């Protein structure tokens, strides 16, 4: 992968940050994208100080116009994109019947619309070049019902389906589109689900009352675990894999 160029959304924290670090460490020039400009700039400054090839591009992925400008700028300043990682995501917790209009709309705006806008902008530029790889970070909740996660699960299911349909349509252009579906991962999003700071223990042990099994491997994922799966699907080692969903959840969905 050394010498290639990647765009990663949701880059300022969690899984997105881990993907940026891993790719840059392998010699990929990374365009790191996030709405939080201050946090993104701080992260990229630290990585650049370590000699890693990363550039900050603050942007709002929920704006189609802003995304088109973003991708134009990245390709003009860095060069043609070889890889795209859709890692931007938000979580709004509530039972389905209690979700507000704003909760629903905001979740889909980032998780689904954002992945659509960025994928469309990047892949439209990949097609004439006849090469490229896209990985969308979805969730194991996209295929398994979770209490109080209806908006998140629905948005991730839609995004996973979109990514696979896109992969079907652009396969003839030598562009691969795959999905990574993490389970509980040690990120701020996970810890925000538990006010008592017991997120890791609760995830590992499960919650029978919410029809949620624990994690057979006895641990939550680290962001790096998910990043390695993303990097594999971007790499030539996965050169004959497309429209695939790779679950990284320690067995939490029992292989289903």
The verdict on 139 and 204 lying in the same domain is no
Q: Which are the contacts of 110, defined by CB distance < 8 A and separation ≥ 6? A: 61, 62, 88, 89, 90
Residue 73 inside a domain? The answer is yes
The verdict on 31 and 138 lying in the same domain is yes
Question: What pLDDT score does 194 carry?
Answer: 63
Residue 253 inside a domain? The answer is no
The verdict on 203 and 83 lying in the same domain is no
Active site residue 211: no
Q: Where residue 23 sits, what CATH number does that domain have? A: 3.40.50.720
The verdict on 216 and 233 lying in the same domain is no
Q: How far apart are CA 36 and CA 192, in angstroms?
A: 18
Residue 112 inside a domain? The answer is yes
Contact at 8 Å (CB) between 110 and 159? no
The verdict on 52 and 134 lying in the same domain is yes
Residue 254 inside a domain? The answer is no
Q: How far apart are CA 172 and CA 237, in angstroms?
A: 19
Contact at 8 Å (CB) between 140 and 182? yes
Question: What pLDDT score does 191 carry?
Answer: 76
Question: What pLDDT score does 202 carry?
Answer: 84
| DSSP code of residue 221 | B
Contact at 8 Å (CB) between 173 and 187? no
Range of the domain at 205: 188-220
The verdict on 150 and 216 lying in the same domain is no
Q: Which residues pair with 31 in a beta bridge?
A: 7, 55
Catalytic residue among 108, 152, 225, 226: 152
Q: Checking DSSP bridges between strand 132-137 and strand 54-58, what pairing results, if any?
A: unpaired
Q: How far apart are CA 233 and CA 220, in angstroms?
A: 21
Phi and psi angles of residue 184, each rounded to the nearest 5 degrees, phi first: -60, 125
Q: How far apart are CA 97 and CA 93, in angstroms?
A: 11
The dihedral through the CA atoms of 238, 242, 244, 249 has a sign that is positive
Residue 256 inside a domain? The answer is no
Q: What is the dihedral of CA 114, 115, 119, 122, to 10 degrees?
A: 50
Q: What is the dihedral of CA 189, 154, 184, 67, to 10 degrees?
A: -50
Question: What pLDDT score does 114 carry?
Answer: 98
Q: Which are the contacts of 148, defined by CB distance < 8 A and separation ≥ 6? A: 93, 94, 95, 210
Question: What pLDDT score does 196 carry?
Answer: 61
Per the structure, how many domains does the chain have? 2
The verdict on 96 and 206 lying in the same domain is no
- Global pTM? 0.95
Residue 40 inside a domain? The answer is yes
The verdict on 146 and 46 lying in the same domain is yes
The verdict on 23 and 139 lying in the same domain is yes
Tokens of 23: 């790719």
> Which residue ranges of the chain lie beneath pLDDT 50?
none
The verdict on 112 and 209 lying in the same domain is no
The verdict on 214 and 175 lying in the same domain is no
The verdict on 136 and 201 lying in the same domain is no
Residue 10 inside a domain? The answer is yes
Tokens of 84: 């795209």
């Amino acid at each position: 992968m050394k010498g290639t160029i990647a765009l990663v959304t949701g880059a300022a924290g969690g899984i997105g940050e881990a993907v940026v670090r891993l790719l840059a460490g392998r010699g990929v020039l990374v365009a790191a994208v996030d709405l939080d400009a201050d946090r993104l700039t701080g992260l990229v400054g630290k990585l650049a100080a370590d000699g890693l090839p990363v550039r900050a591009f603050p942007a709002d992925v929920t704006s189609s116009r802003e995304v088109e400008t973003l991708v134009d700028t990245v390709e003009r300043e860095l060069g043609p994109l070889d890889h795209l990682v859709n890692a931007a995501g938000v979580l709004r917790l509530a039972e389905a019947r209690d979700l507000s209009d704003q909760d629903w709309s905001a979740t889909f705006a980032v998780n689904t619309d954002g992945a659509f806008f960025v994928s469309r902008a990047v892949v439209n530029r990949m097609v004439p070049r006849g090469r490229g790889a896209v990985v969308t970070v979805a969730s194991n909740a996209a295929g398994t019902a979770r209490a109080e996660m209806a908006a998140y699960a629905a948005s991730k299911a839609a995004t996973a389906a979109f990514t696979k349909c896109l992969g079907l349509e652009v396969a003839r252009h030598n562009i691969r589109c795959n999905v990574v579906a993490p389970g509980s991962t040690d990120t701020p999003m996970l810890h925000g689900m538990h006010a008592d700071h017991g997120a890791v223990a609760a995830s590992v042990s499960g919650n029978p009352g919410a029809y949620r099994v624990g994690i057979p491997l006895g641990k939550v994922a680290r962001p790096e675990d998910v990043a390695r799966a993303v990097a594999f699907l971007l790499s030539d080692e996965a050169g004959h894999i497309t429209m695939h969903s790779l679950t990284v959840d320690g067995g939490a969905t029992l292989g289903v």
